């Protein structure tokens, strides 16, 4: 199958960039489930929609599977000091294992054609970290976090 060349993807792939408005109703339930399971909450589904609508991110679908069953959202980050570009896999979702190879191949092509030095994703799942190793990803950082205990309304603030 040949498709038009979109966002640096070679024409022989079933992965296509699409307008977020055309697929939002299909992909939003999966995005909501992904966000529900995240251990951090620094963005909302609406932020993803706004970023894609503004052209700061892009949504891609696998046209060989039913709508909403395989998609990913990418954004390009640039290090202001080194000027190196990193392709950030912001959201990724698939109901089938067989799409993973097509998706990773498309992401590799997009990153290469865009002059990126790296591809990265952030996850709270050790299982996804291990899965990423199959496709050449290395864990490069540990993030640790501690919740700050809240004071009771009757407690007096401490002065330092």
Task: Indicate which CATH number applies to the domain containing 19.
Answer: 3.40.630.30
117 in a structural domain: yes
Map tokens 């339930």 to a residue: 29
136: how many CB neighbours lie within 10 A of its CB?
Answer: 9
147 in a structural domain: no
The residue segments making up the domain with residue 25 are: 15-134
**pTM reported for the whole predicted model:** 0.76
- pLDDT tens for the chain, residues 1 to 160: 233 344 544 445 789 999 999 999 999 999 999 888 776 778 899 999 999 999 999 999 999 888 888 999 999 999 999 999 999 999 999 888 778 788 888 999 999 999 999 999 888 778 887 878 887 788 877 777 788 998 876 666 666 6
- The first and second tokens of residue 11, run together, are 């024409």
122 in a structural domain: yes
């Amino acid at each position: 199958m040949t498709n038009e060349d979109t966002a640096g993807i070679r024409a022989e792939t079933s992965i296509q960039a699409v307008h977020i408005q055309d697929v939002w109703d299909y992909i939003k339930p999966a995005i909501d489930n992904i966000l529900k399971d995240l251990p951090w909450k620094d963005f909302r589904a609406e932020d993803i929609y706004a970023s894609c609508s503004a052209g700061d991110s892009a949504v891609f679908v696998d046209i060989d599977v039913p709508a909403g069953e395989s998609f990913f959202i990418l954004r390009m980050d640039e290090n202001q000091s080194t000027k190196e570009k990193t392709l950030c896999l912001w959201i990724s979702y698939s109901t089938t294992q067989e799409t993973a190879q097509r998706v990773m191949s498309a992401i590799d092509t997009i990153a290469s054609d865009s002059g990126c030095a790296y591809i990265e994703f952030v996850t709270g799942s050790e299982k996804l970290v291990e899965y990423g190793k199959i496709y050449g990803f290395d864990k490069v950082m540990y993030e640790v976090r501690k919740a700050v205990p809240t004071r009771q309304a009757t407690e007096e603030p401490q002065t330092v």
